[in-house]
Amino acid sequence: MAPPQIERMRGLWRGWLLSPERLWLASIALHRRGHLRLAFVVKQLNTILYSNSLPPGASVSADIHLGHNSFGIIVNPQVTIGQRVKIWHNVTLTARPPGSAARIVIEDDVMIGTGAIVVTPQGRTLTIGRGARIGAGVVITHDVPAGATVVCAPPRVLTADEAREERG
Q: Is residue 34 scored above 70 in pLDDT?
A: yes
Total structural domains within the chain: 1
Q: DSSP state, 68? A: G
Q: What percentage of the chain exceeds 90 in pLDDT?
A: 71
Which pLDDT value is given to residue 1? 47
CATH of the domain at 108: 2.160.10.10
Q: pLDDT digit string (tens) for 112-147?
A: 999 999 999 888 999 999 999 999 999 999 999 999
- Quick check: is 168 in a domain? no
Cα angle 55, 16, 107; round to 5: 45
pLDDT score of 153: 78
The neighbouring-strand residues paired with 140 are 118
Question: In this structure, is residue 163 part of a structural domain?
Answer: no
Angle at 52 between CA 27 and CA 60, to 5 degrees: 45
55 lies in some domain: yes
Q: What is the DSSP letter of 25?
A: H
Residue 164 in domain: no
Q: Is residue 40 part of a domain?
A: yes
Of 110, 120, 36, 122, nearest in space to 79 by CA: 120
Using CA atoms, how far apart are residues 85 and 107, in angstroms rounded to an integer?
8
Question: What's the pLDDT tens digit per position in 78-121?
Answer: 999 999 999 999 999 999 877 788 999 999 999 999 999 999 98
Structural domain that includes position 64? 4-153
77 is a domain residue: yes
| Confidence at 159, pLDDT banded by 50, 70, 90 | confident
Tell whether the model's pLDDT for residue 7 goes beyond 80.
no
118, 94 contact by CB (below 8 A): yes
